[in-house]
């Protein structure tokens, strides 16, 4: 019988897509991420919640290296985050990011916004990029807006374009940092519905949100952060009905009874 080969120590297990180990980060004297250990499985939807300033955005930003880390490791699909250069650009394209502010290019049409990264980073030819952009714009429900400029769209429509733009890169994982916080209430659902559908389609997602309905219905796991630490994590049902830490109890009592 042959020996089973031993996996390299750093190699991710087959199902693991994003792995953070002992990640630490400071902003000056502020220890903003403290010994973060977090593993996201392929196809998993993880909702990150916690008080303002707890480090949720910083956590997201380290995962596509918009922020550097001081210590620890981050791997995406088994590969450590590159420091810089072409490799970093490629890796960033594997990690789609959607922010609170939609960050579309104002002087490009909706269609061009969704084509641009495909052409520049993925080196897709123009015709293919356009086909894919149109298909994705249809998928998020704004296909008829393709030739308009971002400012001519509602916030909810712009955010759906931003999602289409991220998806156009064929990302392995999508990060959402409060994607609905800047939207008028009547537009929140149209964006959440697109995200729900993505989750159902099996996209791996990390979502920072205050939308507890989304967390309950779409998340496989809720990660609760406070003061730069992951204080607890659990399945949504368990977390919302039976939070263990005082910090989480306190946080939930504030957001659920306001
Ligand atoms: N570039 C920066 N320089 C210095 N301090 C920063 C920087 N970015 C964030 N911080 C600080 O780091 C801490 C964590 O910020 P972060 O934005 O990650 O929190 P958050 O959990 O996303 O909060 P919110 O719910 O308000 O979005 C805060 O105290 C913030 O002021
Ligand atoms: Mg934030």
* Dist CA 202 CA 154 (whole Å): 28
Ligand sitting nearest the alpha carbon of 56: 1
Is 61 touching ligand 1 by the criterion CB < 6 Å?
no
What Cα–Cα distance (Å) separates residue 119 from each residue in 10, 84, 105, 123, 174? 33, 20, 15, 5, 20
CA distances from 134 to 93, 123, 166 (A): 19, 18, 14
Question: How many angstroms separate the CA atoms of 195 and 191, rounded?
Answer: 6
Q: How many CB atoms lie within 10 A of CB 108?
A: 14
130 CA to middle of ligand 1, Å?
37
Closest residue CA from atom 24 of ligand 1: 52
pLDDT at 90: 78
| CB distance 32 to ligand 1 below 6 Å | yes
Q: What is the pLDDT of residue 3?
A: 46
Which residue's CA is the nearest one to ligand 1's atom 10? 27
Task: Show contacts of 128-132: CB within 8 Å, 24+ apart.
Answer: 129/168, 132/168
Q: If you measure from the C-alpha of residue 201 to the centroid of ligand 2, how many angstroms do you get, rounded to a whole number?
A: 26
Report the predicted TM-score, pTM, of the whole model to 2 decimal places.
Answer: 0.92
Closest residue by Cα to atom 6, ligand 1, is: 27
Ligand 1 atom 29: residue of nearest CA:
53
Distance set, CA 150 to CA 134, 159, 169 (Å): 15, 10, 20
Q: Is 255 in the pocket of ligand 1 (CB under 6 A)?
A: no
Cα–Cα distance, 170 to 54 (Å, whole number): 30
Give residue 228's Cα distance to chain centre.
18
| pLDDT for position 11 | 55
Record: fold of 2-256: Rossmann fold (3.40.50)
pLDDT, mean of each 10-residue run, the chain (258 residues) = 45 83 97 98 97 97 92 92 79 90 94 95 93 97 97 97 96 97 94 96 97 96 98 97 96 82
Nearest ligand 1 atom to the CA of 59 is 18
Per residue, the 3-state secondary structure of the chain, as one string, reads CCCCCCCCCCCCCCCEEEEEEEEEEEECCEEEEEEEEEEEECCCEEEEECCCCCCHHHHHHHHCCCCCCCEEEEEECCEECCCCHHHHHHHHHHEEEECCCCCCCCCCCHHHHHHHHHHHCCCCCHHHHHHHHHHHHHHCCCHHHCCCCHHHCCHHHHHHHHHHHHHCCCCCEEEEECCCCCCCHHHHHHHHHHHHHHHHCCCEEEEECCCHHHHHHHCCEEEEEECCEEEEEECHHHHHHCCCCHHHHHHHHHHHCC
Give me the residue spans of the domains in the chain.
2-256
């Amino acid at each position: 019988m042959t020996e089973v080969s031993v996996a390299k120590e750093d190699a991710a297990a087959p199902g693991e897509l994003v792995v953070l180990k002992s990640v630490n980060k400071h902003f000056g004297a502020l220890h903003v991420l403290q010994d973060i250990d977090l593993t996201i499985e392929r196809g998993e939807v993880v909702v990150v919640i916690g008080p303002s300033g707890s480090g949720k955005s910083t956590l997201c930003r380290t995962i596509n290296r918009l922020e550097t880390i001081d210590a620890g490791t981050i791997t995406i699909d088994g590969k450590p985050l590159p420091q810089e250069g072409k490799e970093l650009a490629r890796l960033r394209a594997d990690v789609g990011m959607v922010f609170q502010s939609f960050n579309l290019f104002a002087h490009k049409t909706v269609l061009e916004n969704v084509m641009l990264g495909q052409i520049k980073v993925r080196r897709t030819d123009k015709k293919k990029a356009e086909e894919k952009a149109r298909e994705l714009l249809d998928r998020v429900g704004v296909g008829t807006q393709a030739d308009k400029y971002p400012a001519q769209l509602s916030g909810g429509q712009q955010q759906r374009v931003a999602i289409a733009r991220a998806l156009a890169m064929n990302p392995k994982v999508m990060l959402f940092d409060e994607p609905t916080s800047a939207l008028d209430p009547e537009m929140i659902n149209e964006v959440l519905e697109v995200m729900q559908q993505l989750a159902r389609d099996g996209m791996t997602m990390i979502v920072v949100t205050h939308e507890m309905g989304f967390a309950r219905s779409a998340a496989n796991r809720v990660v609760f952060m406070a003061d730069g630490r992951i204080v607890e994590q659990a399945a949504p049902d368990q977390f919302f009905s039976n939070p263990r830490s005082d910090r989480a109890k306190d946080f939930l009592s504030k957001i659920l009874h306001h």
